[in-house]
Structure 1
Amino acid sequence: MTGEGEGRSGLRSVLGGPVLTLWAKHDRDSEGWLPLWQHLEDSAAAAGLLWDRWLPVSVRRLIGAALPGGEADGRRLAVWLAGVHDIGKATPAFACQVEQLADRMRAQGLEMRSQGAMGSDRRLAPHGLAGQVLLGEWLEERHGWVPKRVGQFTVVVGGHHGVPPEHGQITALDSRQHLLRTPGASRALWRQVQGELLDACAETFGVRDRLDHWRTVELPQPVQVLLTALVIVSDWIASNPDLFPYYPQDIPRSSTERAEVAWRGLDLPPAWSAAEPLEDAQGLFSSRFGLPPGAKVRPVQEAAVELARSMDEPGLMVVEAPMGEGKTEAALAVAEIFAARSGAGGVFFALPTMATGNAMFPRLLEWLKRLPAQERTRHSVLLAHSKAALNEDFADLMRGTHRLSAVDVDAAPVRPWRPSDSSRAAPADLVAHAWLRGRKKAMLASFVAGTVDQLLFAGLKSKHLALRHLAIAGKVVVIDEAHAYDAYMSVYLDRVLSWLGAYRVPVVVLSATLPAGRRRELVEAYAGVGGQGAATGAEFDVVAQAGEYPLLTAVAPRGLPVMRRPAASGRGAPVRLERLDDGGEVLAERLAKELDGGGCALVVRNTVKRVLETARVLRARFGDESVTVAHSCFIDVDRAAKDAALLRRFGPPGKATDRPTGPHIVVASQVAEQSLDVDFDVLVTDLCPVDLLLQRMGRLHRHQRGEEQSDRPPRLREARCLVTGVDWDADVPAPVRGSVAVYGAHALLRSAAALLSHLDAGENRPVRLPEDISPLVQSAYADGPAGPDGWAEALSKAAAQHEKQRADQADRAATFRLGGVGRAGRPLFGWVAAGAGDADDTRAGRAQVRDSRESLEVVVVQRRADGVLTTVPWLAADRRGRQLGGLELPQDQVPGLLAARAAASSGLRLPIQFSYAEVMDQAITQLEELYVPAWQVKDSHWLAGQLILALDEDCQTRLAGFSLRYSKADGLEVTRA
């Protein structure tokens, strides 16, 4: 074999003899290969280019701050670690794997046993761990480092395949030196070539004279994580033969030229470089969000901007303000200021559900398009959830992006990028970049909207966790609907916040209804209370004691909290609360009275079963055309259409184009609580936790319709909320069983107690929004007694059960939760030990960070009488006018792209009945009977591996002892067979 690059500069110019026969890559199909020195040089070059042209300023600053030479040292260290990351391949345990390449080494005196003869011991010397050991020996023997300082650097090499080694693995390899160097006459030669290569890397990558300066450094654990992640990304890029060709292909003679050609092929958009906006709050909001003429920025928004600008260092800001106050816009404005001041290179907007993520994504794109021209270079953008490819806005970006062969094994390969593709850039240079679509790399995009799971995964011990940390360490993180996360999720969120504080990542937390105790937990987690050099918990008492509303709370990493108390916008209105007995006929009679003169009512039920039962009764009274159903058990495309229709009919004045003129009732589950800007004349709701009830009330008289609501029906111009789903005549209010199953008796009884003064007819005191929001929430979540004396026993029993459940949630969440930030200098050995393996956005992955049973997801199709499978018939045409309903899905071949994507858009998460182990196993067995081998190929990525639920021509089927019926109007209805 030839082609070792004679005449090159770099490593090749200082190496000779047996070291040149060490190999790093081999393609069994083409017999192409890559010398180890070349791969190390390629990886180092990739690291240097990533540092110079892609890595956010904030990450470079954090790494540089840990080293005596600042960012210049940071770059040298990153390049050097990438340049030595595969030194463990200079061992017999690795080299023996390809016999012809091993023979070439043997011919130069590097003896080794065959792979078979080496036996199972080879598994004890993976090349990452072997490289960690070799680099540690070299630092100690050649440069006099003390052992306790070595691990914090070498762990980057040991962990570059996603899992830092554990102490037991290191010990096991120490006792098997034959895996690192063949015993006997060639042992000295192995040691010589290993040392020669490490010496050459130190010289070539510019660290030989810096190693003495780094001997006493204590690298913070966050810096170790970021360096590990940077080496992983560099290795993945350098391992792509489309970018860095294997020998004996024609390779540019200059290593610099080779790297530049690869970088042009990769074509990664740079990190965002934000400039701090100079306008006042009014000007900033007008330019970024297009305020209508004469509209004024709201007090909360103005205060958030001023607080962001006044902080000594960007940190955590908690924004508590009423629904409809423009918290999203405030968060983006603060993110722009924080990014400019911190050097963050992007924004991650974390939301509670896929639906809210989909709703946020176009708003994020619109904001990006309104950034100043100098900031609107090419940006990588991502919608981060498992069904993002079905989102039309994201699909448009994907259709317009550059294409490139994927690097890691998790992403399907696509055709190589060609220069002519540059003409296909997405509008405003927003790019869903192909290389950033693999599930392990996707979050590295600069601007991301997605589910909060993606953030919580950063607190879950899992493989390649360092990449998730790099992804969030370089961004401003916005966490929306913070009240929506239960105790289980909060265990992960608090741990992630502690790491974000250590990375000095700016964070904005948004909530309309946040309990004071939870506010304190969030602030303390970020500030590192209890950690080395952090403030004490007592200094945060003010955070839990503040009762004002709206409220802004801010804290810098390791800092003390500051608070602002802006005025409300004055947009609120009193809402009269009233008890309503439970029962469908009672509800129908009351709504007939309320809607006698027309109007739009929202009825919110706590379970899908109650939604459908209620809808049947109301349709019998008002007619099918006057009742709309919305809940979570619709196929994806129908759910999206429901949300769009709700906005079109019940959205803000000027945007809603089809508001009903006659009576209309929407019966919905909890999907009506979050991120839908809809406005109703009257609200009926099942009793629920008070913060969620207030969220539901935020859909009541949300917008002004005429002077003093004169455009609403006369009897509905006063906002009224009827609370039902409870036996109000019992000695202690008794919520219906389904509500207790969802929320627990404790939260429901505390909610009822907090609302008593507003429900009692004698006092008849309305809920004043926003003034009463915080008092109600703090009362419901306080630790003291609540309600009348006669409720005490029931509340005490419910509280005991609640505390037991919370403790159980916390214990279960802690099983795979990442540890806290360790002291500086402590290596990351065992960082993700006993972890969850790979964590990703699948039903199993989400179940790890949410307190939910693993759910079953299916693709819904229809089976005609002749046995042919088709997409469900009611699917509307796509944006290009192509019909999607009723398309045939052949079982003897891969369906066409249009039909396959249309079928995939009909995904459905089965309800909780199918989440119990025995029922789930039975359901999976039955679903797997419809197994189509032709669909299980790489060209069928829309349908491969999917469970297919086939409905008959009446849209019905049976599954695991249940009867299933689906309709476009009502979604999925499940009954016992």
Structure 2
Amino acid sequence: MGAGLPYFKYWGKAKPGQDEAGAQWHLLPYHSLDVAAVGQVLLQQHAFLRKRLAVLMQLSEADAVQWCVFLLGIHDLGKFAESFQQLRPDLRQQFWPDTIIKKKNYSVRHDSLGEMLWQRFLKDEWLEQSPDCEDFLEDAIKYWLQPVFGHHGWPPDKHEPLKNHFTDFDQAAALAYFNDWRQLVSPDIECVVNAGADSDWVKQQARVSWILAGLAVLCDWLGSNHALFTYHDERMDLPRYWQNVALPAAETAIRAAGLLPKPRVEHQNLQSLFPFIQDQTPLQAYCSTIPISAEPQLFILEDVTGAGKTEAALMLAQRLMEAGQAEGIYVGLPTMATANAMYERMTDAYLRFYAEGSQPSLILSHSARHLSEKFQESLLAAQRAEQNYADEENITAQCNRWLADNRKKALLADVGIGTIDQALLGVMPARHQSLRLLGLLNKVLILDEVHAYDAYTNQLLKTLVEFHAALGGSIILLSATLTQYQRETLIAAFYGKKYAAKPYTGKTDYPLLTQVAKDLPLLEQPLQTRESVRRAVQVQFCHDEKAVLQTIQQAVALGKSVCWIRNTVSDARDAWQQLAGYDWIDSGKLHLFHSRYALHDRLTIERQVLDYFGKQSTPEQRQGRVLIATQVVEQSLDLDFDVMISDLAPIDLLIQRAGRLQRHSRDALGKPLAHGQLDQRGTPTLTVFSPALTDEPQQDWYKQLFPKAHFVYPHTLVLWRTSQILARMQGWTMPEDARQLLEFVYDEADEGIPEALAGSTQKALGETHAKKDMGDALALKLALGYTVNSRAWDEEVKLATRLGDDTHTVYLACWQDGLLRPWVSDDRYCWDLSSVRVSSKQLEKVAVIKDVALVAALERLRETEKLFDQYSVIVPLTHEASGESWVGSAIDSSGRGVIVHYNEEIGLWLG
């Protein structure tokens, strides 16, 4: 391990120029030891992660740590390649002045080069030294090495002859380092050789690989912090560098990152977590006492809207944490609006999960508000520029951009709240998906509104459940409207199986709590619903828009608050603009709310909506106020309307929407009543805007009235059945009618299908199965381990978590007076708040820009702003002469030019 060894003639990190003080490069063995030291300190101090890894690896904690440290120390073996070293030919020549160096093309990333070096050289060298290790080196270790080599976000994916990239002395230097490092760390070979005799143990390592990949990414990021791991170009033997430099720097890095779990408060009850709860609901009471298994568990909570499912789930999460099964929580919701609402509910409560003064982090994954900055600052504040590796982005840039995106960072917080999409990307072949899985590893995963996804996203959801359970995590699923089939498939996913005809469950009661643990019999517990949320809803139909407008006018005249939920953004805008033309409604009391606003404007509107129609809203705020909205209001937002109108939608969505109709007890004028008092506004009546009712619908029965919404809800049979059962029952009573409504509408039996809908039904079912197959094809396979396996890994922006809503983030910029600024310019998170989600079909990229100054400004922006990469769509807008909106140009997926309009009141539209 002396300083004269050949591996000291290789650089691992380098500054881009020679104008900075201090060492200009960092020797390759030192960076390798930096990353390994981060892994050792992290695992020594993070008891939960250490224990979970040991359980998954089926090794003692000491052996698991030693092997992880050894693996991290060889993560950059590919950098020994001449093709990599020649990226700095001056250093290559300086290190090897007497050698004729032949230029080699750096056409394979160094992560793949490392895997090639192992497979075609180092493995054989090890085998010569330890012939009894053959089975281990052929089978188990591949599940450990691929994720470590794939530390830049995806598995190694290329193989070429070694001579194309490595000289003989490169291979000799790599071997010398490999042997010296193995001698320094001394991982126990005997323990893994013995374990590897069991084929089941080898298969288990495939699961471990997903976590090792995330650990490698995280340790490489921390170990690349140039402020803590300063460049060393002077040679020092490995043991001395390890003890005197790498480990002390790693201690500082882990302390600065704030990654270690915060101490918890033990023995909490529902009232101590949520002091505002005066009377427990039956669901909450049961969750406070249900026995908690020592193994990972799945809970499915089915109850009506307003039954306190969220607090019940958090009570369960606290008890799981107390049982040592988790250190934190991630709550995944279907929309940004529902995530915002959950964040508001958690801003105080989350502190009660942890010891006083421990300062746990709470991050909302998309709003960029009230963030814990400790982790971000520890990695970004002192980062200095480093050498770019040809077309390969350096680790600093990757880390900066990942942490600049708050949606991703929430997965690493103690308590994270966001849309389900960020968690779903953890089980898709997206770059850095492993870091998401690592972030979820020590968390209870709570997923709300699990009924709300199509077959494609639902397949990804089931894969997420399978992964999280297999990696030792517990899951809590919430829904007010879950079909029997959905419940069965989610249970099967937890067991790691495909659903077969034989059901796991036997009860159809509602409300119902289902508990699944692999070491206990499945539990189905019927529950009561508290009287205050037991309610009947009447349904009446309107069959033309004129009747809907008359209903709104009558309600406004009576001083009532009204919500009309449209099924598309376009329909919502049309309705809002039409109502704005009437003098019987105060323009200041007419509001529009949908998903296509810049985040800042959407959050502003959301807060206004919650003020005007929320639980604490006053009669003066509510009187004669009308909200035209899309599906953004139907889930998890605590809103309360006197009158509710909805376009015809599937029954489960109508039930959800009606949950915002007379949600809280008020008197006839809309004044909130004391707890326990009954509402005085009369029987809630949901008005459904629907095609004319008929027993013999035509194929275009729904499309004729809703030509745009037809593409959102193409399964006409489901919509027709919804209208049929509501017309027959003239409403519903909850919870008694829940199962009947759902099972009637979603019954896949062939009986009772109108002849004209038979073809469209078969087409819809075929599309559903196709979506399921697409989701299954794209989802990662747990048993295969972290490997390419002919699967195309890609940047996350190119992977859709929702097939029917394939969108990407667009950043709105204002171009005015020769200056380019974000739409929201007065906030630290200006670009986050200037973003909007837009259909990938409608807007794929920015149109060609002819303004030379604007082109230069955009190039400067991409160079300086950490959030952006080459896939980011930044749309420059100029102010229209009319002064009402801003306008820009873009290209849709067909290559056609489109005009982008934006107005803070109406949002974004194309035309």
TM bucket (normalised to shorter chain) is 0.7 to 0.9
- Corresponding residue number in structure 2 for 1:165: 156
CA distance in 1, matches of 2:106, 2:709: 59
Distance 1:925 1:234 in 2: 41
Instruction: Indicate the larger mover: 16-25 or 33-42.
Output: 16-25
Matched, 1:269 2:269: no
- Residue 754 of structure 2 aligns to a residue whose secondary structure is helix
Report the alpha carbon displacement of residue 466 of structure 1 after superposing the two structures with TM: 2.4
**Alpha-carbon shift at residue 40 of structure 1 (Å):** 2.8
Deviation at 1:799, TM superposition (A): 1.7
Verify the 8 A CA contact 1:132 1:158 in the aligned structure 2: no
CA distance in 1 between counterparts of 2:469 and 2:398 reads 37
Q: Displacement, 1:688?
A: 0.5
Per-residue CA distance 1:283-328 (angstroms, 9 max, x = gap): x221112225xx1111111222333x33342311111111122222
Q: Does residue 202 of the first structure (1) align with residue 182 of the second (2)? A: yes
Q: What is aligned with 1:49?
A: 41
Secondary structure of the residue aligned to 1:777 is helix
Aligned partners of 2:341 and 2:25: how far apart in 1? 48
* Matched-pair contact (CA < 8 Å) for 1:270–1:378: no
Mapped partners of 2:866, 2:108: distance in 1? 38
Aligned residues: 861
What is the aligned counterpart of 2:876 among 936, 948, 951?
948
Instruction: Note closer, same or farther for the CA distance 1:668–1:920 as it changes in structure 2 (3 Å cut).
Output: closer
Supply the distance in 2 between the matched residues of 1:287 and 1:758 (Cα, whole angstroms). 42
Query: After the TM superposition, which residues 757-772 of structure 1 pair with which residues of structure 2 at under 5 Å, given as runs?
Result: 757-759=728-730, 766-772=731-737
Determine the structure 1 residue equivalent to 2:348: 366
Q: Secondary structure at the match of 1:364?
A: helix
- What per-residue deviation string (whole Å, max 9, x for no partner) do you get for residues 481-524 of structure 1? 11111111112112222211210211111111111111111111
Equivalent residue in structure 2 for 1:739, among 705, 709, 714? 709
2:568 equivalent to 1:586? no
Equivalent of 1:934, from 850, 853, 857?
857
Letter matched to residue 804 of structure 2? D
For the residue of structure 2 that corresponds to 1:485, the secondary structure is: coil
Query: C-alpha displacement at 1:449, in angstroms?
Result: 1.2
For the structure 1 residues 622 and 79, does the alpha-carbon distance in structure 2 shift closer, same or farther, using more than 3 Å as the test? same
* 1:640 equivalenced with 2:568 (yes/no): no
Q: Which runs of 5+ in 2 are unaligned?
A: 385-392, 890-895
Equivalent position amino acid for 1:498 in 2: E
| TM-score, length-scaled by structure 1 | 0.79
Q: Which amino acid aligns with 2:381?
A: L
Report how far residue 262 of structure 1 moved. 4.5
Summarize deviations over 1:740-787 as a string: whole Å, max 9, x none: 22212132123223323223xxxxxx411222223212221122367x
Contact 1:513 1:777 in 2 (8 A): yes
Matched residue, 1:29: 17
The CA distance in 2 between the partners of 1:895 and 1:508, in whole Å, is 38
Deviation at residue 458 of structure 1 after TM alignment: 1.5
Q: Which runs of 5+ in 1 are unaligned?
A: 1-11, 416-432, 531-535, 760-765, 862-867, 870-888
2:306 maps to 1:336: no
Displacement of 1:78 in angstroms is 0.8
Equivalent position to 1:807, from 761, 769, 772: 769
CA deviation string 1:113-172 (max 9, x = no partner): 524267869989723432454442243221221153342343344333333335xx45x4
Superposed, which structure 2 residues align to 1:832-851 within 5 Å?
833-839=790-796, 842=797, 844-845=798-799, 847=800, 849-851=802-804
- Counterpart AA for 1:80: F
Equivalent residue for 1:85?
75
The equivalent of 2:381 in structure 1 is 404
Aligned runs of 1:479-490 on 2, under 5 Å? 479-490=447-458
Q: Is the contact made by 1:406 and 1:435 (CA closer than 8 Å) also made in structure 2?
A: no
Please identify, of 519-528 and 800-809, the stretch whose mean Cα deviation from structure 2 is larger. 800-809
Tell me, yes or no, if structure 1 residue 719 matches structure 2 residue 701: no
Distance 1:102 1:958 in 2: 49
Q: In the alignment, which residue of structure 2 is the partner of 1:685?
A: 646
CA distance in 1, matches of 2:670, 2:878: 48
**What do the CA deviations read for 1:144-202 (whole angstroms, capped 9, x no partner)?**
21153342343344333333335xx45x43xx4575452xxx69xx54x5444333222
| RMSD of aligned alpha carbons | 4.0
2:491–2:504 CA contact under 8 A, matched in 1? no
Partner residue of 2:387?
A: none
Partner in structure 2 of residue 453 of structure 1? 421
Aligned counterpart for 2:739 among listed residues 767, 774, 779: 774
Letter in 2 for 1:154: L
Q: What is the CA-CA distance between 1:380 and the residue it aligns to?
A: 4.0
Query: Is this contact kept in 1: 2:79–2:85, CA < 8 A?
Result: yes
- Letter of the aligned partner of 2:749 in structure 1? G
Matches within 5 A, 1:374-385: 377-385=358-366
Quick one: distance in 1 between partners of 2:831 and 2:225? 33
**Residue among 830, 849, 856 paired with 2:788:** 830
Q: Single out whichever of 518-527 and 936-945 deviates more from structure 2.
A: 936-945
Asked if 1:601 is matched to 2:559, the reply is no
Map of 1:424 onto structure 2? none
Where in structure 2 are the equivalents of 1:306-321 lying within 5 Å? 306-307=289-290, 309-321=291-303
- Tell me which amino acid in the other structure corresponds to 2:656: Q
Cα contact 1:894–1:939 (8 A) shared by 2 = no
In the TM superposition, residue 704 of structure 1 has moved relative to its aligned partner by 1.4
For the structure 1 residues 700 and 151, does the alpha-carbon distance in structure 2 shift closer, same or farther, using more than 3 Å as the test? same
Q: 1:43 to 1:731 in 2, by over 3 A?
A: closer
**1:20 and 1:665, CA in 2 relative to 1: closer, same or farther beyond 3 A?**
closer
Q: Are residue 226 (structure 1) and residue 211 (structure 2) matched?
A: yes
Whether the aligned pair in 2 keeps the contact of 1:636 and 1:908 (CA below 8 Å) is yes
Identity of aligned residues (%): 23
Q: Once the 2 structures are TM-superposed, how far is the Cα of residue 366 of structure 1 from its aligned partner?
A: 1.9
Write the distance in 2 (CA, Å) between the matches of 1:731 and 1:67.
61
1:471 maps to 2:429: no
Distance 1:317 1:403 in 2: 39
Could you say which residue in structure 2 is the equivalent of 1:427? none
**Aligned residue number for residue 885 of structure 1:** none
Alignment match, 2:390:
none
Query: Which of 137, 141, 151 lines up with 2:142 in the alignment?
Result: 151
Partners in 1 of 2:354 and 2:907 — Cα distance?
A: 44
Are the counterparts in 1 of residues 222 and 379 from structure 2 also a CA contact under 8 Å?
A: no
Q: What SS does structure 2 have at the residue aligned with 1:946?
A: strand
Q: TM-score, normalised by structure 2?
A: 0.84
Q: 2: distance between equivalents of 1:519 and 1:402?
A: 42
Structure 2 CA distance for aligned equivalents of residues 40 and 649 of structure 1: 57
Q: Distance between the aligned counterparts of 1:466 and 1:137, measured in 2?
A: 29
2:77–2:174 Cα contact (<8 Å) kept: yes
Q: What is the CA-CA distance between 1:51 and the residue it aligns to?
A: 0.7
Amino acid at match of 1:852: D
After superposition, the Cα gap between the structure-2 partners of 1:49 and 1:492, relative to the gap in structure 1 and judged at 3 Å, is same
Residue 370 of structure 2 aligns to a residue whose secondary structure is helix
Alignment of 1:139 onto 2:126: yes
Between the aligned partners of 1:129 and 1:441, the Cα distance in structure 2 is 32
Q: Secondary structure at the match of 1:379?
A: coil
Shift of 1:463: 3.1
Which whole-Å CA distance do the structure 1 matches of 2:241 and 2:426 have between them? Answer: 40
Distance 1:246 1:670 in 2: 53
Residue 49 of structure 1: CA displacement?
Answer: 0.9
Note if contact 2:647-2:690 (Cα within 8 Å) is conserved in structure 1.
yes
In structure 2, relative to structure 1, the CA distance for the partners of 1:898 and 1:315 (3 Å cut) is same
In the alignment, which residue of structure 1 is the partner of 2:388? none
CA distance in 2, matches of 1:264, 1:905: 33
For the 8 Å contact 1:92–1:179, the answer to whether it is kept is yes
1:215-364, aligned counterparts within 5 Å? 216=197, 218=202, 219-248=204-233, 255-258=242-245, 259-265=247-253, 267-272=256-261, 275=264, 277-279=266-268, 284-292=269-277, 295-307=278-290, 309-364=291-346
Matched, 1:577 2:538: yes
Aligned mates of 1:574, 1:853 — CA distance in 2: 37
Q: Which moved more, 1:889-898 or 1:494-503?
A: 889-898
In the alignment, is the contact (CA less than 8 A) between 2:288 and 2:316 conserved in 1?
A: yes
Distance 1:821 1:571, change over 3 A: farther
Corresponding residue for 2:780?
A: 818
* Contact in 2 for aligned 1:314/1:342 (Cα 8 Å): no
